[in-house]
Amino acid sequence: MPERKVVVGSSGGLHARPANLFVQAAARQPAAVLIAVGDKKPVPAKSILSVLSLGAVKGTEVTLSAEGEHAEESLTALAELLAQDLDAESPEGSDA
């Protein structure tokens, strides 16, 4: 199972908005993706409650792992997303 380590780039960590953006992106991936912090058990990346329960703050290194079709591509897309400051991005026309 391929893995990728990435440092959380969002200024507020994986709290509500960044976690939601990450979970939505994970749900669109063709591979089943897991995310873990340290030695803790990996959780499904498409579960908002599981991702929030990680308590990942800015600078936390997380491990993404994927299984299935296009696993490497899924990891790349999600790692790139996590490395960004998702708190700084606000889609135009959004009430967020």
Could you give all domains of the chain from N- to C-terminal order, each with its CATH number?
A: 3-83 (3.30.1340.10)
C-beta separation of 16 from 75 below 8 A: no
Angle at 89 (CA atoms; ends 52, 74), nearest 5 degrees: 60
Checking if the pLDDT of 16 tops 50, the result is yes
Output the pTM of the full model: 0.89
Which sequence positions are flagged as catalytic? 15
Q: What is the DSSP string of 15-38?
A: SHHHHHHHHHHHHTSSSEEEEEET
pLDDT digits (tens, 9 = 90+) for 41-91: 999 999 999 999 999 999 999 999 999 999 999 999 999 999 999 988 655
| Tally of CB atoms within 10 A around 53 | 14
pLDDT of residue 88: 81
Backbone angles phi, psi at 3, to 5 degrees: -130, 160
